[in-house]
């Protein structure tokens, strides 16, 4: 793929610098140093010929904000720098981005191969909506690379990957599956939301299209929805055309918030994944925890693959509590430095069970079929001090143990360290 960076002087810059300066090396009106929020539905022209040239794409400019908007274009330039892509297209949410990509590249009679473990909304597109349009969908066991290769080899137009997965943090071997897809000429799409462009560069690993929920780590403050798609100019032209018509465009106010959040992505991620590792290691020692999922742990079944294709392991940890939902209901409300909410990737730590977060769209039976236990809790680790997060979790576990076993002594349970 020819996803080469722009000649913006950022070619040799690190990801932290790209996050700050990507798309922002321009003079704004009034010499403003910050990207203006251009709140205009349409753009006016006195010269009808110039207007027509812009409309035909022969001259630079804007016509109508469903098609393009200056604030949104700055955001597209920023993610392009971070994913080192030729082109990018912004959407009103991650699901708008994902569904638009799938509907751009799949039509009646086509086939898509993916895994059972994709994000709940994505899973619904595969199970409920694509089959209605005559697209055949095959979802493989996420860990089963042999089966994925076999299904890809039967022929498909799109291979859709999500790694690490939500909420069980499974890892797919991107280069191996890309090689299989190239043999049948399929477009490979990867959801890079959990890894972020700092930890994983799918385009460099041969993926054709990267999708993001910008709602999560990219914006980073839990205050906005957005989706971003990156890839070659040729592929993005198709995606952009579909967005112009289906209208899932991002508004400039949201684009501005995502731009602002993205500038601190590298700083946030460094702190968040440092704490995530500490929390994962602590959880491994906690008797009320049955299993811990974090790709950075050597005990993770795909740790070697994660090391080969990721430069960091991200800020999401999940774990299964002994006692299932009863334990979840005791533990989560005791946490002081955490929201219990259906979001992730924000500066605050967020806890939630799969039932009300990643798989809120699914029934109990569907979750069981996907191997998602009712005791599974996902933690999106925030930027708080690591020790505070550890202490918080320890005091919450102490409370649960005391509730289960009231004879336990206060001195024991009020763990200081
Ligand atoms: C949240 C999420 C999405 C959906 O994004 P929205 O912005 O909520 O529409 C897709 N993929 C992953 C991995 C997510 O975490």
Q: Residue 227: its pLDDT value, please?
A: 98
Instruction: Note if 216 is an active site residue.
Output: yes
Q: Both 254 and 302 in a single domain?
A: no
Q: Both 210 and 343 in a single domain?
A: no
* Residue 328 φ then ψ, to 5°: -55, -45
Residue nearest ligand 1's atom 11 by CA:
119
Atom of ligand 1 nearest to the CA of 166: 13
Alpha carbon distance 346, 1 (integer Å): 32
- Decide whether any atom of ligand 1 lies within 6 Å of the 95 Cβ: yes
Alpha carbon distance 71, 62 (integer Å): 11
Q: Which of 111, 216, 240, 367 is catalytic?
A: 216
Q: Residue 5: its pLDDT value, please?
A: 46
Q: Residue 413: its pLDDT value, please?
A: 44
Residue 216 lies in a domain: yes
CATH code, domain carrying 285: 3.90.1150.10
Q: Which of 6, 43, 66, 150 is catalytic?
A: 66
Instruction: State yes or no: pLDDT of 314 exceeds 90.
Output: yes
| CA nearest neighbour of 85 among 180, 187, 203 | 203
pLDDT in tens, 341-357: 989 999 999 999 988 88
Separation of 42 CA from ligand 1 center, angstroms? Answer: 30
Q: Both 282 and 255 in a single domain?
A: no
Alpha carbon distance 114, 112 (integer Å): 7
Alpha carbon distance 84, 203 (integer Å): 8
Among residues 237, 262, 287, the one where a domain terminates is 262
Residue nearest ligand 1's atom 7 by CA:
94
Alpha carbon distance 306, 298 (integer Å): 10
Q: Residue 7: its pLDDT value, please?
A: 52
Alpha helices in 215-251 (DSSP H): 233-246
Alpha helices in 303-385 (DSSP H): 303-309, 324-331, 364-369
Residue nearest ligand 1's atom 8 by CA:
94
Q: Which of 173, 191, 208, 251 is catalytic?
A: 191
CA 109 → CA 94, 137, 149, 158, 363, distances in Å? 26, 11, 21, 12, 29
- Decide whether any atom of ligand 1 lies within 6 Å of the 126 Cβ: no
- Decide whether any atom of ligand 1 lies within 6 Å of the 192 Cβ: no
Alpha carbon distance 361, 129 (integer Å): 13
The structure tokens listed for 314 are 């991200």
Residue 8: pLDDT band with limits 50, 70, 90: low
CATH code, domain carrying 20: 3.40.640.10
- What residues are paired with 90 via a beta bridge? 228
Among residues 262, 292, 323, the one where a domain terminates is 262
Taken as a whole, the chain contains a residue count of 417
Burial class for 147, CB neighbours closer than 10 Å (0-12, 13-18, 19+): middle
Instruction: Note if 66 is an active site residue.
Output: yes
Taking residues 312-317, report their average pLDDT. 98
To test ligand 1's pocket by mutation, which of 102, 115, 202, 215 has the most ligand atoms within 8 angstroms of CB?
215
Residue 195 lies in a domain: yes
Q: Both 241 and 344 in a single domain?
A: no
pLDDT in tens, 106-135: 999 999 999 998 998 999 999 999 999 999
Residue 2 lies in a domain: no
Burial class for 282, CB neighbours closer than 10 Å (0-12, 13-18, 19+): middle
Separation of 346 CA from ligand 1 center, angstroms? Answer: 13
- Decide whether any atom of ligand 1 lies within 6 Å of the 119 Cβ: yes
Are 1 and 26 a contacting pair, CB within 8 Å? no
Contacts 24+ apart (CB under 8 A), 32-37: 35/71, 35/74, 35/256, 35/259, 36/70, 36/71, 37/71, 37/252, 37/253, 37/255, 37/256
Widest Cα–Cα separation across the chain: 84
Instruction: State yes or no: pLDDT of 180 exceeds 90.
Output: yes
- Decide whether any atom of ligand 1 lies within 6 Å of the 193 Cβ: yes
Are 125 and 133 a contacting pair, CB within 8 Å? no
Taking residues 23-43, report their average pLDDT. 93
Q: Both 19 and 145 in a single domain?
A: yes
Mean pLDDT of the chain: 93
Among residues 262, 292, 311, the one where a domain terminates is 262
Q: Which strands, in side-by-side order, build the sheet including 350-353?
A: 289-293, 316-321, 376-380, 350-353, 339-340
Q: Residue 416: its pLDDT value, please?
A: 43
Q: Both 233 and 310 in a single domain?
A: no
pLDDT in tens, 367-416: 887 778 889 999 999 999 999 999 999 999 999 999 988 766 544 444 44
Alpha carbon distance 319, 352 (integer Å): 11
Q: Both 215 and 320 in a single domain?
A: no
Instruction: Note if 119 is an active site residue.
Output: yes
Q: Both 299 and 243 in a single domain?
A: no
- Decide whether any atom of ligand 1 lies within 6 Å of the 382 Cβ: no
- What residues are paired with 380 via a beta bridge? 316, 350
CA 395 → CA 85, 228, 319, 389, 400, distances in Å? 45, 39, 17, 10, 9
Residue 3 lies in a domain: no
Instruction: Note if 270 is an active site residue.
Output: no
Instruction: State yes or no: pLDDT of 300 exceeds 70.
Output: yes
| CA nearest neighbour of 399 among 331, 323, 333, 350 | 331
Residue 5 lies in a domain: no
Residue nearest ligand 1's atom 5 by CA:
94
* Residue 72 φ then ψ, to 5°: -65, -35
pLDDT in tens, 256-267: 999 999 999 999
Residue nearest ligand 1's atom 6 by CA:
94
Question: Which residue range(s) make up the domain with 299?
Answer: 265-411
Number of domains into which the chain is organized: 2
Residue 7 lies in a domain: no
Atom of ligand 1 nearest to the CA of 162: 13
Residue 1 lies in a domain: no
Q: Both 271 and 245 in a single domain?
A: no
CA 107 → CA 123, 148, 237, 307, 413, distances in Å? 18, 21, 17, 36, 59
Q: Both 321 and 231 in a single domain?
A: no
Q: Both 248 and 168 in a single domain?
A: yes
Q: Which of 111, 116, 119, 256 is catalytic?
A: 119
The structure tokens listed for 104 are 């751009």
- What residues are paired with 291 via a beta bridge? 320
Atom of ligand 1 nearest to the CA of 227: 7
Q: Both 235 and 349 in a single domain?
A: no
Instruction: State yes or no: pLDDT of 100 exceeds 90.
Output: yes
Residue 10 lies in a domain: no
Q: Residue 265: its pLDDT value, please?
A: 98
Separation of 119 CA from ligand 1 center, angstroms? Answer: 7
Q: Residue 9: its pLDDT value, please?
A: 80
Are 161 and 205 a contacting pair, CB within 8 Å? no
To test ligand 1's pocket by mutation, which of 97, 118, 166 has the most ligand atoms within 8 angstroms of CB?
166
Instruction: State yes or no: pLDDT of 2 exceeds 90.
Output: no
């Amino acid at each position: 793929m020819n996803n080469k960076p722009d000649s913006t002087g950022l070619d040799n810059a690190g990801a932290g610098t790209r996050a700050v300066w990507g798309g922002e090396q321009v003079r704004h009106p009034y010499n403003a140093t910050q990207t203006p929020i251009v709140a205009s539905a349409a753009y006016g022209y006195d010269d009808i010929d110039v207007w027509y040239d812009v409309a035909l794409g022969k001259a630079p400019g804007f016509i109508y904000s469903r098609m393009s908007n200056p604030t949104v274009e700055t955001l597209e330039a920023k993610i392009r720098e971070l994913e080192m892509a030729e082109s990018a297209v912004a959407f009103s949410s991650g699901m708008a981005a994902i569904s638009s990509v799938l509907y751009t590249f799949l039509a009646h009679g086509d086939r898509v191969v993916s895994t059972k473990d994709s994000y709940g909304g994505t899973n619904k597109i595969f199970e409920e909506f694509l089959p209605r349009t005559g697209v055949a969908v095959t979802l493989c066991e996420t860990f089963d690379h042999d089966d994925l290769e076999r299904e890809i080899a039967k022929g498909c137009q799109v291979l859709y990957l999500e790694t690490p997965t939500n909420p069980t943090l499974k890892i797919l071997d991107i280069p191996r599956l890309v090689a299989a897809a190239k043999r049948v000429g399929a477009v490979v799409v990867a959801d890079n939301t959990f890894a972020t462009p700092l930890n994983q560069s799918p385009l460099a690993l041969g993926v054709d299209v990267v999708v993001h929920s910008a709602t999560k780590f990219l914006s980073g403050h839990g205050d906005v929805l957005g989706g971003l798609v990156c890839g070659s100019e040729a592929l993005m032209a198709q995606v952009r055309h579909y967005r112009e018509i289906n209208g899932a465009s991002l508004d400039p106010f949201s684009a501005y918030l995502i731009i602002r959040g993205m500038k601190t992505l590298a700083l946030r991620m460094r702190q968040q994944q440092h704490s995530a590792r500490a929390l994962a290691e602590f959880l491994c020692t906690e008797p009320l925890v049955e299993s811990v999922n974090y790709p950075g742990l050597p005990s993770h079944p795909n740790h070697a693959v994660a090391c080969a294709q990721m430069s960091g392991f991200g800020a999401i940890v999940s774990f299964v509590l002994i006692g299932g939902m009863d334990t979840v209901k005791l533990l989560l409300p005791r946490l002081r430095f955490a929201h219990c909410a259906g979001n992730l990737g924000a500066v605050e730590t967020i806890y939630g069970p799969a039932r009300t977060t990643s798989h809120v769209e699914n029934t109990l039976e569907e979750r069981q079929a996907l191997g998602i236990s009712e005791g599974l809790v996902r933690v999106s680790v925030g930027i708080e001090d690591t020790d505070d997060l550890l202490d918080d979790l320890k005091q919450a576990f102490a409370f649960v143990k005391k509730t289960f076993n009231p004879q336990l002594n206060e001195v024991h349970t009020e763990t200081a360290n």
